[in-house]
Amino acid sequence: MRFRHLLPLLLAVLAGAAQAGELVVIVSAKNPVSALRADQVADIFLAQTGRFPQGGEAVAIDLQYGSPLRDEFYRKVAARTPALMKAYWTKMVFTGRGQPPKELPNSASVRRLVADNPLLIGYIERSALDASVKPVLVVQ
């Protein structure tokens, strides 16, 4: 079970720079979570759950509204266009079921923030990846 999730990740890591522009979902290197499925990631980012599958509290960090990376992320992870995402959050906010994640301007700031806090989860350009954070999903 575990290998099946690990394998694509390892392959992605080995592929290196050849995969520039790719997104990776990251958590703090201190976070015990090692890998997540796309739907688990989506649930956290869409405020459907506030916890990692392992049980730890999870807080999503988003990129700025209108960022191409952000649009790509939601298209791939949650299969939603920006318009749908907006409608989604409008409804979530209106009904009081949730607030959109905190937004940061770029991958580096996300990485920085996530690296320090094991509760956080974010996504960054693969190229911005470093040892301070741990990729749990390569978004393809």
127 belongs to the binding site for other proteins (CB under 8 A)? no
Q: Which of 81, 90, 127, 140 binds other proteins (CB under 8 A)?
A: 90
H/E stretch holding 38 reads helix 38-45
Which residue lies nearer to other proteins by CB, 16 or 66? 66
Which residue lies nearer to other proteins by CB, 36 or 63? 63
CA–CA dist 79, 72 (Å, integer): 9
Smallest distance, other proteins to C-beta of residue 100, A:
4
Q: Which of 15, 86, 127, 130 binds other proteins (CB under 8 A)?
A: 86
Q: Which of 73, 77, 100, 134 binds other proteins (CB under 8 A)?
A: 100
Smallest distance, other proteins to C-beta of residue 88, A:
9
Measured from the Cβ of residue 134, the count of other Cβ atoms closer than 10 Å reads 21
CA–CA dist 127, 118 (Å, integer): 21
Which residue lies nearer to other proteins by CB, 16 or 96? 96
C-beta separation of 56 from 118 below 8 A: yes
Is residue 124 exposed (0-12), middle (13-18) or buried (19+ Cβ within 10 Å)? Answer: buried
C-beta separation of 135 from 125 below 8 A: no
Sole window of 23-31, 43-51, 82-90, 108-116 interacting with other proteins (rule: CB under 8 A)? 82-90
Give the residues lining the site for other proteins (CB under 8 A). 65, 86-87, 89-91, 93-96, 99-100, 102-103
